Amino acid sequence: MTINENLARLKKEIPGHIRIVAVSKTHHASEIMEVYDTGHRLFGENRAQELIDKQPFLPSDIQWHFIGHLQTNKVKYIAPYISMIQSIDSLKLLTEVNKQAQKYNRMIDCLLQFYIAQEESKFGFDRKEALALLNSQEYKGMKNIRIKGVMGMATFTENLNQVRGEFRLLREIFQYLKSNIFTGDDEFCELSMGMSGDYQIAVQEGSTIVRIGTAIFGERTVA
């Protein structure tokens, strides 16, 4: 199947209210343009340097979502155009995003990344750490960021019950924050979960944003 057949199949299968981030990491501008030319505008990258290198060569109406661990010293380069940073994993990072957004006189949408997997390598908050951030004076003073929801990655495993349990945990965290911190805030509405291997489960568990690379572009040849 071609890239566009893959995407068309996914768009048919995934309910229309769920947004699909086409994760284009490692893929060239020509492949991204193939998808762009079908009318798709939402793309995701997980390495800042790669996004910084690619973005100037691609149409400016692409909505870029950043989905990987972001170093604070890279924020300034993507702040002028990034549409959403899904991978906020520290107060320090959020502070820098707010500062750079202010510099460019914009509002940057963010998601808090939660650690839900049983894997060492994944980034993200636990509930207590997130509450400490959300209750801090620093956060309360931030005018140029908007926290729109949560993001998480399930364990890379064949055990689908485990994956489902992790997505349920993320949904429960989302609902907890919605009831206790973002009460009545309609902007807090996003639950970003699901990748090529587990998006079907994520959709069943209430995902509003899926992040799909391999199932659109094919296997990545580089890491």
Ligand X SMILES: *Cc1c(COP(=O)(O)O)cnc(C)c1O
Residues in contact with ligand X by CB under 6 A are 23, 25, 46, 67-68, 153, 195-197, 211-215
Taking the complex as a whole, how short is the minimal distance between the CB of residue 25 and ligand X, in angstroms? 6
Cβ proximity to ligand X, 130 vs 151, nearer residue = 151
> Could you tell me which of 190, 195, 186, 177 has the C-alpha nearest to residue 44?
195
Residue nearest to ligand X (CB): 213
Secondary structure string (H, E, C) spanning 20-64: EEEECCCCCHHHHHHHHCCCCCEEEECCHHHHHHHHHHCCCCCEE
Taking the complex as a whole, how short is the minimal distance between the CB of residue 136 and ligand X, in angstroms? 25
Cβ proximity to ligand X, 173 vs 212, nearer residue = 212
Taking the complex as a whole, how short is the minimal distance between the CB of residue 137 and ligand X, in angstroms? 30
Taking the complex as a whole, how short is the minimal distance between the CB of residue 197 and ligand X, in angstroms? 6
Bridge-based pairing of strands 209-212 and 19-23 is parallel
> Residue 7, SS3?
helix
Token pair for residue 135? 């209750």
Taking the complex as a whole, how short is the minimal distance between the CB of residue 9 and ligand X, in angstroms? 14
d(CA 188, CA 103): 24
Q: Are 83 and 145 in contact (CB under 8 A)?
A: no
> Residue 140, SS3?
helix
Cβ proximity to ligand X, 142 vs 203, nearer residue = 203
d(CA 218, CA 137): 45
Cβ proximity to ligand X, 118 vs 135, nearer residue = 118
Taking the complex as a whole, how short is the minimal distance between the CB of residue 141 and ligand X, in angstroms? 29
Cβ proximity to ligand X, 179 vs 214, nearer residue = 214
Cβ proximity to ligand X, 67 vs 173, nearer residue = 67
d(CA 35, CA 105): 30
